[in-house]
């Protein structure tokens, strides 16, 4: 598959957000989420056919324009084609930018299933788990509910919790 045929389904790209990780970041919001958390802040993102198909090249161009580190969010980015998403991550890292990934899966879910191996080695930080309304908190940074955890990958692909 060439870069010209690689598409992802994007709701919007926002350059300069401060809520999806440290510092100014470019957030890419992907369409589609099957977790359907009660109290989700963005249920209009659930439709896997929502947003618009966008070429990886065009996503990278926008990210390069802003020059901020990048957050992949949604929706849940892991409902995209995982090979194409991993290629996007490789391109972003090639620009010298780091990547935070928000997902409704737990890190244990991802580590159990081989299909996520490549994406696990393509992002720097994972904010994991579904939003649980009964555990909603305004006192935790970069997350909505206290079950959600933030993990950072080291150079040996080991994950450790940060912002505890």
Q: Give the residue, chosen from 74, 87, 97, 124, that forms a contact with ligand SF4 under the rule CB under 6 A.
A: 74
42 near ligand SF4, rule: CB under 6 A: yes
Q: Which listed range, 36-44, 50-58, 90-98, 149-157, lies at the site for ligand SF4 (CB under 6 A)?
A: 36-44
Q: How far apart are CA 125 and CA 14, in angstroms?
A: 19
The alpha-helical segments, DSSP class H, found in 105-155 are 107-112, 117-120
Q: Which of 12, 36, 112, 136 binds ligand SF4 (CB under 6 A)?
A: 36
Check binding of 151 to ligand SF4 (CB under 6 A).
Answer: no
Asked if 33 is part of the footprint of ligand SF4 (rule: CB under 6 A), the reply reads yes
Q: How far apart are CA 101 and CA 76, in angstroms?
A: 9
Among 13, 14, 17, 37, binds ligand SF4 (CB under 6 A): 37
**Closest by alpha carbon to 143, among 152, 134, 153, 130?**
130
Which stretches of 50-134 are assigned E, i.e. beta strand?
52-55, 69-73, 99-102, 125-128
58, two tokens: 């065009």
Helix (H, G, I), strand (E, B) or coil at 40: coil
Q: How far is the CB of 41 from ligand SF4 (least distance, A)?
A: 6
By the rule CB under 6 A, 40 interacts with ligand SF4:
yes
DSSP-derived 3-state class of residue 96: coil
Taking CB under 6 A as the criterion, the residue among 26, 27, 45, 86 binding ligand SF4 is 45
Does 104 bind ligand SF4 (CB under 6 A)? Our answer is: yes
Q: Is 131 in the site for ligand SF4 (CB under 6 A)?
A: yes
Per DSSP, what are the bridge partners of residue 152? 125, 160
Q: Report CA 103 to chain centroid distance, whole Å.
A: 6
Asked if 29 touches ligand SF4 (CB under 6 A), the answer is no
Point out which residues bind ligand SF4 (CB under 6 A).
33, 35-37, 40, 42, 45, 74-76, 104, 130-131
């Amino acid at each position: 598959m060439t870069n010209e045929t690689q598409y992802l389904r994007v709701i919007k790209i926002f350059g300069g957000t401060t809520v999806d990780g440290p510092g100014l970041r470019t957030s890419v919001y992907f369409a589609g989420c099957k977790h359907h958390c009660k109290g989700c802040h963005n249920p209009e993102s659930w439709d896997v056919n929502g947003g618009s198909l966008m070429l990886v090249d065009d996503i990278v161009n926008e990210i390069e324009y802003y020059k901020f580190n990048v957050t992949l969010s949604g929706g849940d980015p892991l409902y995209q084609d995982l090979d194409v998403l991993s290629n996007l991550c490789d391109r972003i890292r090639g620009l010298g930018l780091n990547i935070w990934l928000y997902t409704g899966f737990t890190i244990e879910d991802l580590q159990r299933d081989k299909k996520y191996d490549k994406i696990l080695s393509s992002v720097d930080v994972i904010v994991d788990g579904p939003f649980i309304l009964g555990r909603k908190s305004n006192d935790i940074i970069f997350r909505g509910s206290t079950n959600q955890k933030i993990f950072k990958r080291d150079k040996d692909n080991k994950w450790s919790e940060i912002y505890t």
